[in-house]
Every structure is written in structure tokens, then in C-alpha cells.
Amino acid sequence: MTTKAILLGISASALFALSSNAQSDHRNQEPPSVDEIFEKMDKDEDGLLSEKEVEGPLKDMFSKIDSDEDGFLSKEEVEKAPKPSGKRPKRQ
């Protein structure tokens, strides 16, 4: 084997290992806390999240989470919201 072939094999193995670690780290990541959610999404800093401010699962389930139906999510409502199962649909 030539030196180039050996170096190529080592480089490919290293890249594969880094890619695998990055994917497993992402899967084991904890969901954000309610405070982190509000820090990120509460653009007008009023302590409430409007439907315009939220994204992802909160946006998809907004009307279910908004238990008092005032058009805003409070920290208490987000704390009581059902947690995502963590199961993602399979890619095709």
C-alpha cells in the first residue's frame, strides 16, 4: 500500500468517527428548559409567547398548550405542555 492510500484510509475513518459522534451527541441532547425557550423566543420580552413568536412543536400545538385561550403561552402553560416523545419520523 502506498502512503497516500494509508493516509486516505485514516482520514476517511476519522471523518466517519467524527460524524457518528456528532449525530449521537445530537440525539442525546436534553430538550431546552422553559426559561431557555422564553429567552430564545420571547422577542418582545413581555413574559408571554404569542403564536408569532413560537416555532417548532410549540407552534404546532399552540392551541392545545394555550389552556386559558388568551392567545399567549405563559411559562406555566409551557411547563404543563406534553413533552415531545423524541421519536422522529423515519426518513425515506
Render pLDDT for 30-40 as a digit per residue (tens, 0 to 9). 889 999 999 99
Residue 26 has pLDDT above 60, yes or no: no
Which option is the CATH number for 31-83: 3.40.1350, 3.30.70, 1.10.238, 1.10.287?
1.10.238
Say what the pLDDT of residue 19 is.
54
Say what the pLDDT of residue 27 is.
60
- pTM (2 d.p.): 0.61
Q: In percent, how much of the chain has pLDDT > 70?
A: 60
| Cβ burial 8-38 (10 Å sphere, 16+ → b, else e) | eeeeeeeeeeeeeeeeeeeeeeeeeebeebb
Say what the pLDDT of residue 92 is.
60
Give the residue-averaged pLDDT of 35-48: 96
